[in-house]
Amino acid sequence: MRIHFKTSYNHDIRLFPDRWSFLVYAILIVIAVVLPWVLDDFFLGEVTNVLIWAIAGLGLMLLTGQTGQASLGHAAFLALGCYSCIIFMEQGWPFLIAFPAAGILTGVVGTIIAIPAIRLHGIYLAIATIALSILADDIIVLMEPITDGVSGKFAPMITIFGIEIERWTTPDRFYWLVLAVTILCTLGYRNLLRSPLGRAFAAVRDSEVSASAMGVHIARTKAAAFGISCAITGLAGALMGFYAGAFNNETFSIVISITLLMMIVIGGLGSIHGAFFGAVVVAFLPQFLSMTKDFVGGGSVAIPGLETGVFGMILILFILFEPMGIYGRWMKIRIWFELFPFARKDMFKRQKSYLKTERLR
Amino acid sequence: MEVVQLLVSGLANGCVYGLIALGFVLIYKATEQVNFAQGDFMMLGAFVCLGLTNAHYMGLPFWIAAPLAIAIMAVLGYLLDFFVLRHLFGQSQTAVVILTIALGFVIRFIAGAIWSHEPQTLESPLAIGDFNLGGVVLGMADIAVIVVTVLLTYFLYQFFQRTKLGLAMQAASQNQMAAYFMGIPVKRVQGMIWGLSGAVAAVAGILFASKGAIDPNAGLLGIKAFAAAVIGGFGSLPGALMGGLIVGVIEPFASRYFPAGYSQIAPYTLLLLVLVFRPNGLFSQVRIKKV
Amino acid sequence: MSTLLEINNATLKFGGVVAVNDLTFSVDEGEVYAIVGPNGAGKSTVFNLISRFYDPYAGAITFDGHNLLDRNADAVADLGIARTFQNIELFDHATVLQNLLVGRHRHRNTNLVQEMLFTPKVRREEKRHREAVEEVIDFLDLQPYRDKMIAGLPYGVRKVVELGRALASGPRLLLLDEPASGLSVEETQDMRWWIDDIRKQMGITVLMVEHDMGLVSGVSDRVLALADGAKLAEGTPQQVQSDPAVIEAYLGAGAA
């Protein structure tokens, strides 16, 4: 087990606890950057998809994992980010302005929506956000003059300083663009976690009463969490639009909202790693299933509901046996090796707790 | 006359929503868990009954098949609690929400695999057609739905207010530990409540399938029923039914009098309005956490 | 000595039950003031009134000239009133250090954008917060638990962490809700020294609710005895302990 001898406060604050983990992440980034020369276009597209889902996952993780507000409506914000970015570009805005503007717009709308929503707790928030997601679908259809309704829109070519980026013709450039956004979002997330607002998020999640007794403004903090979460989700939505090439009201359905929430639970709530692990599962599951089907000899017969069914099953197993998600399992395996041979099985035993209702009657 | 007709069909739909909402509320009242798969339970109940009744499956008489389906769903509900939900003891409400949503996906997949994704109709004696009452054409099935729902709600309400088991269920939801110390077998009581809500879901499913065709995606109705439960107020059985009726009645009127496109957003708009202005439902209860 | 906290004719009703009945008392700057009373006397309710979790039905609460009733819970904390809770309310899924750092929240003067970019100012502020927290950790001997999760800590340690979190906010007035409940004899002794030092070394005024009369008479300057939400007696620990009305309330009629 590595022990960190801290000699200054900077030690506590810095991004990586020691040189070793800095090295690991540096190598990871180098591998990520050179990936287009290694993988063929199909797999590069899949990795791009993973990264886009991971960005969306980071957005929701900030709200659900960090601040404890479960949202089942984040597809609405994916849609808002996607539509606004592409509509801005159709107005002739360059991508470098339209893209952040879409994120900011989504964040602002998210904050406005949050103002009534933050009074709601637990399941009430969940149902309100479900309603939001369903409404978003209908509103896109109703706003046909702007959104082209059911027939949908096509993503234009991205141009950054004269360099043309497109999902199909230049998958490597598109991949790098997505990678850059992923790294920036992850850094911003990480920075928040080590500053006062990030701690206020966790405080609101764990105990609202004592958070407010410590001077944390509950409503403002939750609204901030909503805003940042929606902004990141909006960016992911815009990238999803470019990735898909074409999209309409059904691209960002309630099922996407639910998948996103399930994804971060499978990955591990409350950790950045969790968003990435979950994204890998979501993005590769369809490929994995079709390969399995070929292997078993199912041929090309489409089985409706198979993907969501298997995904649901995986989630149930995780909640039952590993509520901390893939990240939790990963930490346990790491600790087991670090302590070898001294790890004991009951080290990770969960404490049972009893439910005491907050309801008066 | 048209108004009466819209009203009756709205009420009948509303009763199905109400019954599903009743299932949510039952579980919520007794365990503080929220079963987002209740709509899929309803769908499964309908398919079990359909599988037992319809000629090209088992072909049993409806009056044997229906109670059997209800019993099967009750057992399924109990087993679900026994094998899955009981192990979530102490985990957050959100974990249960996500788990039951996932469960809904799984149930939908299984139902599709067994009974296919084609819409099917239940060969139900309730669906004997319409009768004319002074110019108003009423579906027999609609009337049956309304009658059964009213009876069932009354029975459940009495059960919770009057019987020892009902009271034990309420106590277990207020404070698990205290209830446990008072000698209430908390876990078994929770299992029974899941069984009960499975049975209620089966009734809702059979009624729904008597009214028209059913396919595995009918479970998505659960979302609307959930909205109904919230509109009515989550802790109250009559409230859930009222919420269901409100949503059920709004729909036909909205699609009749609103321009197309606006009608399907009506229930959800109402839901959001209720959540913003009366977050605890129209039949609200106060909640303050004591420190 | 000047008056720091003043409660005038505060009344609070829950439905038909009067939890606090026309209560008036004041706490002077630099003193340790204890509230005692049987269970259900309204002691914790008084705390919840001060930290603005409850709205009084009538009456006034002022702190250093500020009307607390104009403020929300978080704005009360901004004035420099920190508190602990009877049934520990810590942030369970965070480390001891992070919990204490949340205590510094009222000193936050960086904004969202700066924090996302982690500008040099944020780093400077973080160091300042950490210095302050580190002093509290030293003071309460919390070093062994510094990076441990709250969820795995024993009860006695959590109690100290909660005190630490309140201290980290650099308060002028510290509200301690039953600081010694559930603690062992040794831990209670530690708590007594800490309260003494908090007052003497840090110059923080302490208002506490406590059952343990040993602790109360050991540290407090003045004691208020409550029964049924109303004032029964007020004075030095000795005066209150020998007050016939107090003895009657505790031991029942006839014991005096």
Residue numbers in A near B173 (CB within 8 A): 357
Q: Do A10 and C108 touch (CB under 8 A)?
A: no
ipTM: 0.90
- Shortest distance between the Cα of A343 and any Cα of chain B, in A, equals 25
Q: Which residue has the tokens 């991508």?
A: A95
Task: Name the residue facing C94 among A196, A202, A224 (closest C-beta).
Answer: A202
Q: Report domain extents, chain C.
A: 1-80+173-256, 87-170
pLDDT band at residue C175 under the 50/70/90 scheme? very high
Q: Do A319 and B109 touch (CB under 8 A)?
A: no
Q: Which residue has the tokens 């649901």?
A: A312
Residue numbers in C near A211 (CB within 8 A): 91, 102
Residue numbers in C near A196 (CB within 8 A): 101, 104-105, 108, 110, 115, 125, 129
Chain pair A-B, CB pairs under 8 angstroms: 147
Q: Please, is A246 exposed, middle or buried when counting C-beta atoms within 10 Å of its C-beta (0-12, 13-18, 19+)?
A: exposed
- The angle that helices A254-267 and A74-90 make with each other, rounded to 10 degrees, is 120
Give the pLDDT mean for A55-83: 94
Chains that touch B (3 or more CB pairs under 8 A): A, C
Task: Tell whether the model's pLDDT for residue A361 goes beyond 70.
Answer: no
Give the pLDDT mean for C78-103: 92
What are B146-167's pLDDT values in tens digits? Answer: 888 888 888 888 888 888 888 8
Task: Tell whether the model's pLDDT for residue B95 goes beyond 50.
Answer: yes
pLDDT value for B140: 80
Helix (H, G, I), strand (E, B) or coil at B78: helix
Torsion sign across C-alpha atoms C192, C195, C201, C206: negative
What contacts A152, CB < 8 A, 6 or more positions away?
A246, A247, A248, A249, A251
pLDDT value for B287: 45
Give the pLDDT mean for A85-92: 94
Distance, CA of B165 to CA of B192 (rounded, Å): 10
Nearest partner of A239 among A292, A185, A284, A280, judged by Cα = A185
Give the pLDDT mean for A81-102: 95
pLDDT band at residue C223 under the 50/70/90 scheme? very high
Q: Do B90 and A135 touch (CB under 8 A)?
A: no
pLDDT value for A171: 92
Tokens of A283: 């993005």
Mutate to test the interface with A, among B105, B169, B269, B270 (most CBs of A within 10 A): B105
Kindly report the CATH number that applies to the domain delimited by C1-80+173-256: 3.40.50.300
Question: Of chain A residues 230-289, which have a CB less than 8 A from chain B?
Answer: 254, 258, 261-262, 265
Given a contact cutoff of 8 angstroms between Cβ atoms, the answer to whether A113 and A132 are in contact is: yes
The pLDDT mean for chain A works out to 87
Residue numbers in B near C89 (CB within 8 A): 291
Distance, CA of A293 to CA of A253 (rounded, Å): 26
Task: Tell whether the model's pLDDT for residue B229 goes beyond 90.
Answer: no
pLDDT band at residue B275 under the 50/70/90 scheme? confident
pLDDT value for C252: 67
What are A33-50's pLDDT values in tens digits? Answer: 999 999 898 899 999 999
pLDDT band at residue A300 under the 50/70/90 scheme? low
pLDDT value for C225: 92
Residue numbers in C near B291 (CB within 8 A): 44, 48, 53, 85-87, 89
Distance, CA of C85 to CA of C89 (rounded, Å): 6
Q: Do A207 and C91 touch (CB under 8 A)?
A: yes
Task: Tell whether the model's pLDDT for residue B289 goes beyond 60.
Answer: no
Give the pLDDT mean for A237-250: 93
Q: Which residue of B has its CA nearest to A312?
A: B102
Q: Report domain extents, chain B.
A: 2-221
Q: Do A357 and B34 touch (CB under 8 A)?
A: no
pLDDT band at residue A298 under the 50/70/90 scheme? low
Chains that touch A (3 or more CB pairs under 8 A): B, C
Of all residues in chain B, what percent carry a pLDDT higher than 70?
Answer: 91
What are C97-137's pLDDT values in tens digits? Answer: 999 999 999 999 999 999 999 999 999 999 999 999 999 99
Q: Among B5-19, B100-114, B267-281, C8-22, which stretch is predicted with the lowest mean pLDDT?
A: B267-281
Q: Which residue of A has its CA nearest to C111?
A: A197
Residue numbers in B near C87 (CB within 8 A): 291
Task: Name the residue facing C93 among A214, A217, A270 (closest C-beta).
Answer: A270
**Residue B50: C-alpha distances to residues A47, B18, B206, C3 (Å):** 45, 22, 8, 78
Residue numbers in B near A358 (CB within 8 A): 287, 289
Task: Tell whether the model's pLDDT for residue A356 goes beyond 50.
Answer: no
Given a contact cutoff of 8 angstroms between Cβ atoms, the answer to whether A127 and A73 are in contact is: no
Mutate to test the interface with C, among B175, B289, B290 (most CBs of C within 10 A): B290
What are A108-156's pLDDT values in tens digits? Answer: 999 999 888 887 877 788 888 989 999 998 899 988 888 888 888 999 9
Look up the pTM and report it: 0.90
pLDDT value for A14: 78
DSSP labels, C79-115: TTEEE--SS----TTSBHHHHHHHHGGGG----HHHH
Nearest partner of A122 among A213, A211, A229, A208, judged by Cα = A208
Q: Do C94 and A10 touch (CB under 8 A)?
A: no
Q: Please, is B132 exposed, middle or buried when counting C-beta atoms within 10 Å of its C-beta (0-12, 13-18, 19+)?
A: exposed
Question: Of chain A residues 88-127, which have a CB less than 8 A from chain B?
Answer: 116-117, 119-120, 122-124, 126-127
Q: Among A41-45, B21-25, B54-58, B195-199, which stretch is predicted with the lowest mean pLDDT?
A: B54-58
Q: Please, is A171 exposed, middle or buried when counting C-beta atoms within 10 Å of its C-beta (0-12, 13-18, 19+)?
A: buried
- The angle that helices A171-193 and A196-206 make with each other, rounded to 10 degrees, is 70
Give the pLDDT mean for B1-29: 86
pLDDT: which is higher, A266 or B91: A266
Residue numbers in B near A118 (CB within 8 A): none
Task: Tell whether the model's pLDDT for residue A270 goes beyond 80.
Answer: yes
DSSP labels, A93-148: --HHHHHHHHHHHHHHHHHHHHHHHTT--HHHHHHHHHHHHHHHHHHHHHTHHHH-
pLDDT band at residue B211 under the 50/70/90 scheme? confident
pLDDT value for A261: 93
Give the pLDDT mean for B185-210: 89
Distance, CA of B173 to CA of A356 (rounded, Å): 8
pLDDT value for C255: 47
pLDDT: which is higher, B9 or A314: A314
Torsion sign across C-alpha atoms C42, C48, C53, C55: positive
Q: Among B277-291, C93-107, C228-242, which stretch is predicted with the lowest mean pLDDT?
A: B277-291
Question: Of chain C residues 203-242, which have a CB less than 8 A from chain A?
Answer: none
Chain pair B-C, CB pairs under 8 angstroms: 7
Residue numbers in B near C48 (CB within 8 A): 291
Nearest partner of A215 among A197, A188, A190, judged by Cα = A197
A4 touches chain B (CB under 8 A): no
pLDDT band at residue A336 under the 50/70/90 scheme? confident
Helix (H) or strand (E) holding B131: strand B130-133
pLDDT: which is higher, B126 or B70: B70
Give the pLDDT mean for B126-143: 74
pLDDT value for A35: 92
- Shortest distance between the Cα of A347 and any Cα of chain C, in A, equals 11
**Residue B55: C-alpha distances to residues B50, B51, B112 (Å):** 9, 9, 19
Q: Do B88 and A120 touch (CB under 8 A)?
A: no
Q: Do C82 and A214 touch (CB under 8 A)?
A: yes
Q: Please, is A6 exposed, middle or buried when counting C-beta atoms within 10 Å of its C-beta (0-12, 13-18, 19+)?
A: exposed
pLDDT band at residue B94 under the 50/70/90 scheme? confident
pLDDT band at residue C18 under the 50/70/90 scheme? confident
Task: Tell whether the model's pLDDT for residue C29 goes beyond 80.
Answer: yes
Task: Name the residue facing B90 among A116, A265, A353 (closest C-beta).
Answer: A353
Q: Do A134 and B32 touch (CB under 8 A)?
A: no
- Shortest distance between the Cα of C201 and any Cα of chain B, in A, equals 30
Q: Which residue of C has its CA nearest to A225?
A: C112
Distance, CA of A19 to CA of A2 (rounded, Å): 11
Distance, CA of C32 to CA of A332 (rounded, Å): 47
What contacts C232, CB < 8 A, 6 or more positions away?
C37, C225, C226, C243, C245, C246, C249
Give φ, ψ of C209 to 5 degrees: -105, 130
Task: Tell whether the model's pLDDT for residue A87 goes beyond 90.
Answer: yes
Strands A246-247 and A153-154, bridge-based pairing: antiparallel
Amino acid at A336: W
Task: Tell whether the model's pLDDT for residue A285 goes beyond 60.
Answer: yes
- Shortest distance between the Cα of A24 and any Cα of chain C, in A, equals 22
pLDDT value for B90: 66
Q: Among A69-83, B82-96, C40-54, which stretch is predicted with the lowest mean pLDDT?
A: B82-96
- Shortest distance between the Cα of C77 and any Cα of chain A, in A, equals 5
What are C145-169's pLDDT values in tens digits? Answer: 988 889 888 999 999 999 999 999 9
Give the pLDDT mean for A65-89: 93
A311 touches chain B (CB under 8 A): yes
Tokens of A123: 């399941």
Residue numbers in A near B102 (CB within 8 A): 262, 311-313, 315-316, 319
